[in-house]
Amino acid sequence: MSEPPHRRRAHASARDLERYGGLFAERTKVMRSSAMRDLMAITARPEVISLAGGLPDTSTFPPKSFAAQMTRIAQESSAQALQYGPTEGFEETKDCILQVMGAEGMLPEPEDVIVTTGGQQAIDLITKTLVDPGDPVICEAPTYPGAVPVFCSYQAEMIQVDCDEQGMRVDRLEEVLAGLAREGRRPKFIYSVPSFQNPAGVTLSFERRRRLVELAREHEVLVVEDNPYGLLRYEGEPLPPLFQLEGGDYVIYVGTFSKILSPGIRLGWAVAPPPVMEKIVLGKQAADLCTSTLTQYFVREYFSEGRWRDYIADLVEIYRRRRDVMLEALDKHFPAQATWTRPEGGLFIWATLPEYIDSGDLLAKALREDVAFVPGHAAYGDGRGRSSMRLNFSGVREEEIREGVRRIGKVVAEQIALYERLTGELPPAAAPQRPAAGGESADVLPFRRAGEGRG
Ligand SMILES: Cc1ncc(COP(=O)(O)O)c(C=O)c1O
């Protein structure tokens, strides 16, 4: 019998770095690891309560229904389902996408749609299509932590516009656009998650939506609307997506089945004006030829049963309860100095601690208590967000949410007690955040104080 192959080293040694260092492309110097991917390895330990992932609860999907759908595929379309497919995706998958977008009032042309390997690939392909090194890309502050490594790897200049509880400060966006115009520059796009934002949980108000698409038209700038959570609303009235308000000339839309069905199937999509779509398709051909045929067949089967809206309604019930449990637990276990958002939908709450607590350091301590969250700096390109954290409430059960928040609250209380001992002074009580360079506040979201906005 031949020897088994040697296990590869987990980390590059100094000798490895010397051997390969001269070969790396310039762009690798600015590549960043996604904070969530790093955390996933640690949080895979069963004893860890992870409030770090952006995970939907896939245990809610009935295994019997999954088995029946896959069996039907095997029996009726095995050869086709195991074959390559068109780069743009199957028409039947696009029919399902049109149903999902239709549920939020959008009606794109099927030929403007491309099926992608998750929404993440759509963000990557759009950036690959539009951004040269040094080009400005505008996004929210904080922004989706998974978009930061994409913008970095294409060497974009990330300009982050602060959010408050009504989403991106569009008045500040206007100033940024005017400033760039004075320099003779135009951003390649404005990236926004307008509904139940990842990570802050905030939603762009109707007036700001209208103003944002007006600005896009005035300045002839594209907006990339990333909307994984629009159908996961737990309270309040639905708001029109930017794509619907604008009509699709200046809005590129990104959607996904990850949060309303399954992230494991890796199916998302983009809708773009034809000239942009042509280039995105070329980029996709180079990246992976086509999206998984098998999972596109699965989605087709699943939608043909006509129960996809019922499943989302079930998810909404479960996640609404989990959000409420997390809000109650934060009230109970987080100190008076902490503040947090109260999302009307989606998967995340954004909490901010006194500025002297670094959430990266806090995470190391929290992991010793077997609990994890995403430290806030992962949502910024410039090191801000250090006293904030993203907490996920969808992926764990109610008892674990309570226990997880209790454990984080405990390490926060220890940090505060330590600060008091070291400085001999009482910490400033929920004071406004320290102004950062340029007069902006460090974490601008006017977070709700503990105890406010209950019920
Ligand atoms: C705002 C946002 N965009 C994109 C994605 C990527 O999702 P996927 O690639 O699974 O569709 C996520 C996942 O959490 C997200 O929150």
Report the share of the chain in percent with pLDDT over 70.
Answer: 89
Are 362 and 251 in the same domain? Answer: no
Domain boundary among 304, 333, 365: 304
What is the position in ligand 1's atom list of the atom closest to the CA of 263? 10
Q: Does the structure show a pLDDT above 90 at 206?
A: yes
Residue 131 within any structural domain of the chain: yes
- Exposure string of 316-339, with b = 16+ CB inside 10 Å and e = fewer, is beebbebbbbbbbbbeebbbebbb
Compute, in angstroms, the gap from residue 312 CA to the centroid of ligand 1.
17
Of residues 435 and 104, more confidence is placed in 104
Residue 327 and residue 297 share a domain: no
Q: Does ligand 1 have an atom closer than 6 angstroms to the CB of 143? A: no
Q: What is the pLDDT of residues 27-37, one digit of tens each?
A: 888 777 666 66
If you measure from the C-alpha of residue 283 to the centroid of ligand 1, how many angstroms do you get, rounded to a whole number?
Answer: 19
Overall number of domains in the chain: 2
Taking a C-beta distance cutoff of 8 angstroms, is the pair 373, 128 a contact?
no
Residue 195 lies in a domain: yes
Q: Is 259 found in the same domain as 115?
A: yes
Residues 249-270, mean pLDDT to the nearest whole number: 97
Among 304, 328, 350, the domain-final residue is 304
pLDDT in tens, 127-184: 999 999 999 999 999 999 999 999 999 999 999 999 999 999 999 999 999 999 999 9
Same domain? For 325 and 292 the reply is no
Are 124 and 262 members of one domain? Answer: yes
Q: Would residue 368 count as lying in a domain?
A: yes
Q: What is the model's pLDDT at position 426?
A: 61
Note whether 219 and 351 are same-domain residues.
Answer: no
Average of per-residue pLDDT values in the chain: 90
Residue 329 lies in a domain: yes
- What confidence tier does 441 reach under pLDDT thresholds 50, 70, 90? very low
> Which protein residue has the closest C-alpha to ligand 1 atom 14?
54
235 occurs within a structural domain? yes
Kindly give the number of the ligand 1 atom that is closest to the alpha carbon of 193. 1
Q: Which domain holds residue 260?
A: 79-304
3-class DSSP assignment, residue 117: coil
Atom of ligand 1 nearest to the CA of 347: 16
Q: Please tell me if the CB atom of residue 258 comes closer than 6 angstroms to any atom of ligand 1.
A: yes
> Mean pLDDT across the stretch 363-375?
94
Same domain, 83 and 145: yes
| Same domain? 300 vs 320 | no
Tell me the C-alpha distance between 271 and 114, whole Å.
Answer: 7
Residues 293 and 315 reside in one and the same domain: no
Residue nearest to atom 16 of ligand 1 (CA): 198
Contacts of residue 268, defined as CB under 8 A and 6 or more positions apart, other chains included, come to 115, 116, 117, 118, 119, 120, 121, 122, 254, 255, 256, 257, 258
Same domain (yes/no): 105, 251: yes
Tell which of 304, 321, 356 closes a domain: 304
Ligand 1 atom closest to Cα of 119?
11
Question: For ligand 1, is residue 256 a contact (CB within 6 Å)?
Answer: yes
In a domain, 369, yes or no: yes
With 50 as the cut, is the pLDDT of residue 454 above it?
no
Compute the average pLDDT of residues 87-99. 98
> Would you say residue 402 has pLDDT above 70?
yes
**How close is the Cα of 181 to the center of ligand 1, in Å?**
31
**Rounded mean pLDDT of 4-11?**
59
Model confidence at 231: pLDDT above 90: yes
Predicted local confidence at residue 11, as pLDDT: 65
pLDDT at residue 17, as a whole number = 73
Which atom of ligand 1 is the closest one to the Cα of 123?
4
Q: Is residue 230 part of a domain?
A: yes
**CATH number of the domain bearing residue 331:** 3.90.1150.10
Q: What is the pLDDT confidence band of residue 431, given thresholds at 50, 70 and 90?
A: very low
Model confidence band, residue 452 (pLDDT cutoffs 50, 70, 90): very low
Task: Check if 255 has its Cβ closer than 6 Å to any atom of ligand 1.
Answer: no
* Neighbouring C-beta atoms of residue 22, cutoff 10 Å: 6
Band of residue 4 on the pLDDT scale cut at 50, 70, 90: low
Neighbours of 214 (CB within 10 A): 14
| Distance (Å) from CA 265 to ligand 1 centroid | 13
- C-alpha 71 to ligand 1 mean position (Å): 28
Band (433; pLDDT cuts 50, 70, 90): very low
The Cα 322–Cα 288 span in angstroms is 37
Please give the average per-residue pLDDT across 257-281, as a whole number.
97
Q: What is the DSSP letter of 356?
A: T
168 and 263 housed in the same domain = yes
Q: Which pLDDT score is estimated for 383? A: 87
300 inside domain: yes
In this structure, the answer to whether residues 116 and 265 fall within a common structural domain is yes
CATH of the domain at 243: 3.40.640.10
Q: Is 144 in the pocket of ligand 1 (CB under 6 A)?
A: yes
- pLDDT for the residue 10: 57
Are 455 and 335 in contact by the 8 Å Cβ rule? The answer is: no
